[in-house]
Amino acid sequence: MRYQPLPSELYVTNRQRLYALLPPRSVVILHSNDVLPTNADGSLGFVQNSDLFYLSGIDQEETILVLFPDAGDPKQREMLFVRETNETIAVWEGEKLSKETASAHSGISRIHWLQDFETQFRAVMCQADQVFLNSNEHQRATIPTETREHRFTLRCQSEYPLHDYRRLAPLMHDLRCIKQPAELASLNEAIRITSDGFIRLLKFVKPGVHEFEIEAELAHEFTRQRARGFAYTPIIGSGANACVLHYITNHCECKDGEMLLLDIAANYGNYNADLTRTIPVNGKFTPRQRQVYEAVLRVFKKCCEMLRPGVIIREYQEQVGLLMTEELIGLGLLNREDVEKQDPEKPLYKKYFPHGTSHHLGIDVHDVGHTWKPIQPGMVFTVEPGIYIREEGMGIRLENDILIGEHGNTDLMAHIPIEVDEIEALMLR
């Protein structure tokens, strides 16, 4: 791996926090994600199951984690199963985890080769009453493929139909939404790398540059700083492309007089930053561009103040809608009389601001958490308001990552330029 591993104490602590939520005689079984094929003998880059990584720190395919804190045999209370290497694997794929390395990363003393799983699995199932199994439960997720964990769930229910099966996801969501200091260290490193990439772009962007060239500059900066790569497929949209919320083709030329929307961030140690900035291609805002930009910036700053412990995201989003409505009226995009007569279920501001403002951030870009429970200290949220004016060929979004505190928030991206004058000064050539 490129990144420096986090201390194993983090994963020991995470497992202990999980144990406190389990009923007696519960076993937890997690599988790594599949290695997904492409064509012929090709495959996509491996991405670890987020929950397995959170509880073990292991970033290798074909890994199984078994947790049974009430096991009669202490050796069965925490077991990690990893793929045994051999000379052929070493030649073709490179080094895999040894038992010693896996133990050092995870803080788990009992490391088995994968072929030992069946024996240990049967022994554990004969003792357990509740079996907690995992699935990718996320309100944004649609899973069209059968995962390794889904296949295992079907197998368990077939072979051991009388056990009490339970969902692990709600417990993991409660745990993962509160970030530990070591997690914040990785997140801050991802943010630092992201910041360096953005500063590099401010000196690179000019009329005639293509969006894919900008993507290449970022890829170079991220990789040279030990990032895994992009936290997500980068959105680099110039002109009207900025009005396409998930624009990822990044193939157009950036033209003089256009705005350029950059939704770009690095992944470091499996933790993701999430940054959006919008800059003038020629380095100078027009009066109209400045007007719209500063409207978005005002909403952004107010949102950062509104996110605090006790707030419920869905209610917060309603308040953001009111703020945005006033800004859109000021920009001449909405009429106050029309707003007063609008259908509350279809607010007019959504024509120009159709997406949410904040989401959890961490191991996943859209990290697990709840939109109907109060915000707590230790959570990390994005703040990303935007205005998209298709008839003017202009989209502007601004986004920072915010750590919720007991008595005040910390903007983890406060050092990244966002004011109009800052942007123009850095782009000055």
pLDDT of residue 142: 82
| Residues counted in the chain | 429
Distance of CA 364 to the CA centre of its chain: 3
Distance CA 347, CA 270 (A): 37
Per-residue DSSP letters for 156-211? HHHH-TTSEEEESHHHHHHHHTS--HHHHHHHHHHHHHHHHHHHHHHHH--TT-BH
Under 8 Å between Cβ of 400 and 414: yes
Question: What domains lie within the chain, and their CATH numbers?
Answer: 8-176 (3.40.350.10), 181-427 (3.90.230.10)
Task: Say if residue 264 is exposed, middle or buried (CB neighbours under 10 Å; 0-12, 13-18, 19+).
Answer: buried
Burial 391-406 (b: 16+ CB within 10 A, else e): eeebbbbbbbbbbbee
Active site positions, annotated? 41, 246, 263, 274, 355, 359, 366, 384, 388, 397, 399
pLDDT of residue 429: 67
Token readout for 357 is: 């403002």
- What average pLDDT values come out for the chain (429 residues) when binned by 10 residues? 91 98 98 94 93 97 97 97 89 90 97 97 97 92 88 96 97 97 97 98 97 98 96 98 97 98 97 98 98 98 97 96 98 97 95 97 95 95 98 98 96 98 93
pLDDT of residue 118: 97
Distance CA 199, CA 208 (A): 19
pLDDT of residue 160: 97
